[in-house]
């Protein structure tokens, strides 16, 4: 699918912590069929913007319009020791969607497929707490892709991964876009930025114009 249909539109987003501006008048669109990198220096407001796009954080002003099912995959480098979830259980959470329900057989097949795509099929029954940080990151990517969402948002999906896993992650994101999803990820990773179809660049909470983004990257 060509990246022309709008999947998500953010209009004049502002956000502040304790009256300190984090995002100021940020407008952006995500289109079906593309991978977008959300980039910028530490403290630029990237994760805050992602959370607002996902609907897990409310802007102080502005609005976000979403078209279709959305999944959010965030960084979770640690897991509570008492958390009684396996890798497969964790991915299963991603199959939940208000108003719809997968059959048991469809859910099992989707979980197995998602774990296989991220290279974690052999770890399906292992406790989440027994996995390394990079392995958990891959499990949470599987949770994000398991129900094939229309919009996939990710926070630093390459964090803690080795070179092979980074390459696999970038391939998966490209595959998700190729089937028609709108994909956006917060990243500091040069290869992810270079391979993205488009870059949303933030500078101290302000959107850098697209031409300047192209010149800067």
Tens of pLDDT along 27-75?
999 999 999 999 999 999 999 999 999 999 999 999 999 999 999 998 7
pLDDT higher than 90, residue 17 = no
Render pLDDT for 167-216 as a digit per residue (tens, 0 to 9): 999 999 999 999 999 999 999 888 889 999 999 999 999 999 874 554 55
Handedness of CA 189, 193, 194, 197 (dihedral sign): positive
pLDDT of residue 84: 83
pLDDT higher than 80, residue 4 = no
Hey, what domains does the chain have and what are their CATH numbers?
A: 1-68+150-217 (3.40.50.300), 81-148 (no CATH)
Q: What is the pTM of this model?
A: 0.90
Average pLDDT, stretch 159-165?
86
Q: What order do you get walking across the sheet with 20-31 strand by strand?
A: 20-31, 6-17, 61-66
Dihedral pair phi/psi, residue 195, rounded to 5°: -90, -10
Q: Which long-range contacts (CB under 8 A, 24 or more apart) does 116-124 make?
A: 117/142, 117/145, 117/172, 118/142, 118/145, 118/168, 118/169, 118/172, 119/165, 119/168, 120/87, 123/87, 124/86, 124/87, 124/88
Beta-carbon contacts of residue 144 (< 8 Å; ≥ 6 apart): 71, 72, 73, 94, 152, 154
Render pLDDT for 114-151 as a digit per residue (tens, 0 to 9): 999 999 999 999 999 899 989 999 999 999 999 999 99
């Amino acid at each position: 699918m060509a990246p022309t249909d709008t999947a998500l539109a953010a209009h004049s987003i502002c956000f502040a912590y304790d009256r300190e501006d984090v995002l100021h008048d940020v407008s952006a669109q995500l289109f079906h069929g593309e991978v977008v990198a959300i980039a910028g220096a530490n403290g630029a407001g990237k994760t805050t913007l992602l959370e607002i796009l996902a609907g897990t954080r409310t802007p102080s002003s502005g609005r976000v319009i979403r078209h279709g099912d959305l999944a959010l995959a965030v960084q979770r480098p640690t897991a509570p020791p008492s958390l009684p979830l396996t890798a497969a259980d964790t991915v299963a959470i991603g199959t939940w969607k208000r108003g719809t329900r997968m059959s048991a057989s469809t859910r099992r097949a989707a979980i197995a497929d998602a774990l296989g795509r991220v290279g974690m099929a052999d770890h399906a029954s292992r406790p989440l707490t027994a996995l390394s940080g990079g392995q958990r990151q891959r499990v949470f990517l599987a949770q994000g892709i398991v129900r094939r969402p229309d919009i996939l948002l990710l926070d630093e999906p390459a964090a803690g991964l080795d070179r092979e896993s980074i390459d696999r992650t970038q391939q998966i994101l490209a595959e998700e876009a190729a089937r028609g999803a709108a994909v956006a990820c917060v990243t500091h990773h040069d290869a992810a930025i270079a391979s993205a179809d488009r870059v949303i660049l933030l500078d101290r909470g302000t959107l850098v114009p697209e031409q300047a983004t192209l010149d800067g990257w």
